[in-house]
Amino acid sequence: MILSVSPNLGIDVTIQLDRLQPGEVHRVKTTKRQAGGKGVNVARALTRLDERVCVLGFAGGDELSRRFAEEGIDARLVAVESEPRTCTIYLTPDGAATVVNEAGAPVEREDKLWEQYRALVPRADAVALMGSLPPGVSSELYEKMARLARSQGVFCVVDTSGEPLVRALRARPSVVAPNSSEAEALLGQTLESNDARRDAVAALRERGAELAIVTLGREGLVVAGPEGFSGSLHRRSPVDMRFGNPIGAGDALVAGLLAARLRGFATVEMLRFAMACAVASLAEGYGRFRPRDLRPEEIVFDATD
């Protein structure tokens, strides 16, 4: 079983428009509501890879539990009094996504989530610590969780930002996978050049990650690992994002990493498989894809000299 921890769960409201122009009146083409959060997207992708997964997070009201049940996703929800936050995504036909995320209501008892996590980790084959933390939750929560996973020999991926990422790195997680803007904010440098990108993953390793990945959107990713392993991955042909949806592509990548790790893939093949999951998810978004659309053979690995 893979445990996908997503403390700041919410409801994703996706609105499709012909175009988005500030200050103008828009006509909505379609609107969709569904359970949201990076850990939820991970769970969707893992389900499509036939992996057992359980989502753990805070939730108020009954909408989230109902929507998890509709999708057949196993979820252990720690009840809070407030309703879940709303994350609004505006999609246009060129594949651009404009995202407006609520912070979420304050959580007063993070110890209840910790107790659930502590009970589930011994039964987990791998753990994913995903996304932001709700107000009121200490920034050291992921550090504690990663440290416990490490102490029990459980493979642990962290995908978060800001102070929670700074602290999680101290626990020496198996993998960290921020996107380029998150890495720039953490390291205080731009990642426009290849040298800067290689320096960034090296810096993440120096701070504690065993395998450090920085995702670069359409450009692929850069990676650094033990024993001098480093390089970049990209797709052989450019990704056409027209009518696509980039939301959750990084989460599908994390799911691919977890599944490939449990299947015993070598590092390069694990990364190829993970990136193939991310690319396949672009057609629909939110971690959804058809396994038959996975094309790891189209992913090129360029080792750093």
Cβ–Cβ under 8 Å, residues 7 and 160: no
Find the mean pLDDT for residues 54-73: 94
Examine the pLDDT at 36 and tell me if it is beyond 80: yes
CB atoms within 10 A of CB 134: 24
Q: Mean pLDDT across the stretch 272-291? A: 96
Mean pLDDT of 122-138: 96
pLDDT digits (tens, 9 = 90+) for 247-262: 999 999 999 999 999 9
Query: Which residues carry out catalysis?
Result: 251
pLDDT at 300 over 80: yes
- Domain total of the chain: 1
pLDDT at residue number 243: 66
Task: For residues 74 and 17, give the distance between their C-alpha atoms in angstroms, rounded to a whole number.
Answer: 32
> Can you give the residue range of the structural domain that contains 66?
2-303
Tell me the pLDDT tens digit for each residue of 74-120.
Answer: 999 999 988 899 999 999 988 889 999 999 888 988 999 999 999 99
* Distances 219 to 156, 279, 294 between C-alpha atoms, Å: 25, 11, 18
Residue 139: pLDDT above 90? Answer: yes
Is the pLDDT confidence value at 280 over 90? yes
Chain segment 183-221, per-residue pLDDT in tens = 999 999 999 999 999 999 999 999 999 999 999 998 999
pLDDT in tens, 143-179: 999 999 999 999 999 999 999 999 999 999 999 999 9
Rounded to the nearest angstrom, the gap between the alpha carbon of residue 39 and the centroid of all alpha carbons in its chain is 6
Provide CB contacts within 8 A for 71, sequence distance 6+. Answer: 34, 35, 44
Percent of the chain with pLDDT over 70: 99
pLDDT of 232: 96
- pLDDT at site 154: 98
Task: Give the pLDDT mean for 62-85.
Answer: 93
Report yes or no on whether pTM surpasses 0.85: yes
- Which CATH number does the domain housing residue 100 bear? 3.40.1190.20
What pLDDT score was predicted for residue 305? 66
